Amino acid sequence: MTYDRTAIMKAAWVIVRRFLGRTRETLAQILSRALKLAWWDAKQEAQVAKAVATKRAEADTLAQRSSADLKVAIVALENTDTLGGAGRDRLSDLQAALRHAEAREAADYAAKRKLIASAKGRFASITFTKKDGTHRVMRVQPATLRQHVKGADASDAGRRAAETRAQRHPNLLPVWDAERKAPRSVNLATVSQIKVNGVTHEFCAR
């Protein structure tokens, strides 16, 4: 920890001038006591600044975490035998970060869905990361998928199942794989690039 010794000495002399001539202490005694007080104040300020910086760094780290990762951390914390004050504060921070992450991800997913849908009957190219960590490029055709989905003609059970999947997995987008000629699901969270209508869009995949 680096301290501003000049500022500490100035603070000590402010104390000296306040008490000089008002006590029976000598100048050396007053200065000695003033320096101790000035150093104590400086160390306290340094500790506060360090705590604030640590808190800010933790907040920045939380802001980058995915909602799935935050949910795991929240469940783990909620299952501890005793939270304590620090644990409750940590849980509150995680819950706030989760709300922000879900809002951020929802906007990200909506933007990607809109881009892919804009291809309509044309082809779009999606680059994403598979579960095994490998990258894949898929050519999709939104209009063709609609021809293979029942939509309004689906049974009530089928519609409810589709709605449940969409609510539980908002990151999954059903698409039509033009090369394999079959419906597939793409994890929008791992999409790093979308090429549509002659324009390439880059994303920061998680």
Residue 135 has pLDDT above 60, yes or no: yes
Domain 108-202, architecture per CATH: Roll (2.30)
Task: Note the pLDDT tens digit of each residue in 179-198.
Answer: 999 989 999 999 999 999 99
pLDDT at 161: 61
Place of tokens 């039509």: 176
Looking at every residue in the chain, the average pLDDT score rounds to: 87
pLDDT at 6: 94
Least confident range of 37-51, 81-95, 137-151: 137-151
The residues, any chain, with a CB within 8 Å of residue 98's CB and separated by 6 or more, are 67, 70, 71, 74
pTM over 0.75? The answer is no
Q: Identify the band that residue 166 occupies on the pLDDT scale cut at 50, 70 and 90.
A: low
Instruction: State the CB neighbour count (10 A cutoff) for residue 141.
Output: 20
The residues, any chain, with a CB within 8 Å of residue 158's CB and separated by 6 or more, are 150
